[in-house]
Homo-oligomer: A and B are copies of this chain.
């Protein structure tokens, strides 16, 4: 029985991500979680706090992928417009949710703080949404259709996304094996291309690293079947050994020539 492959996109919302003021930490976190859950993150977009930009990106992504996850723009200030934009994208009114009003009202009453108009903004969500619980600071995220709307503050995003991903059906995980390769991509590229062609059901990624002096590479073999990963990885190991032997032979030859001269 094959599990259908589930895909996902992320939409990170916020001027601060595009001005450089804030360096995003949520994309990488979501990517890690989805990889563990066997859900393929296929695309990420970052847009500003602009209603048209959010609506356009959201409608493109939700039509194309199984799930969409958003971060940012659900706080109490004037630049928090995600709830309005998501409502507009779905063509439903954005309302003060009854349960969210009670949750927040009780929380502020318990802390002796006024439940201001600004704070009430955090209870607004598209009509028909379900809550995403927020164990950090109470104000809930929400789910409408295949879109999961979460806070941008990393601690809150992480708490929300842990809950959300735990409730999704687990996909068939991609199995991966990482192979450290001491040679740069120029040394391995041709052979690696041949190996990739010989193992079409795997995906072999090559990730160069530069230490300031020379390049090395991390090679990652991925597939949804262990035997496929093992077979391709064995060929990659052989390739690395062959290049090492070639280089040692060339070195011996050069040293040999040196002694004769």
A60-103 interface bits toward B, Cβ cutoff 8 Å, 1 = contact, 0 = none: 00000000000000011111100000000000000000000000
B22/A42 in contact, CB under 8 A: no
Provided the pairs A77-B189, A209-B153, A210-B136 are in contact, do residues A18 and B41 lie with their beta carbons within 8 angstroms?
A: yes
Q: Which residues of B contact A197 (CB under 8 A)?
A: 78
Report if A185 contacts B (CB, 8 A).
Answer: yes
Chain A positions near chain B (C-beta within 8 angstroms):
15-24, 27-29, 31-35, 40-49, 53, 57, 75-80, 108, 113, 116-119, 121-122, 136-137, 153, 155-156, 174, 176, 185-190, 192-193, 196-197, 203-210, 212, 215, 220, 222
Cα of A203 to Cα of B48 in the assembled complex, Å? 12
Cα of A155 to Cα of B222 in the assembled complex, Å? 27
B24/A185 in contact, CB under 8 A: no
Cα of A167 to Cα of B40 in the assembled complex, Å? 38
A58 to chain B, nearest CB (A): 13
A116/B186 in contact, CB under 8 A: yes
Q: Which of B29, B75, B78, B190 contacts A118 (CB 8 A)?
A: B190
A205/B45 in contact, CB under 8 A: no
Cα of A212 to Cα of B135 in the assembled complex, Å? 12
B117/A185 in contact, CB under 8 A: no
A22 to chain B, nearest CB (A): 7
Q: Which residues of B contact A47 (CB under 8 A)?
A: 42-43
Provided the pairs A27-B46, A53-B43, A190-B116 are in contact, do residues A185 and B75 lie with their beta carbons within 8 angstroms?
A: yes
Cα of A185 to Cα of B186 in the assembled complex, Å? 52
Cα of A57 to Cα of B18 in the assembled complex, Å? 18
Output the nearest chain B residue to A31 by Cβ-Cβ distance. B20
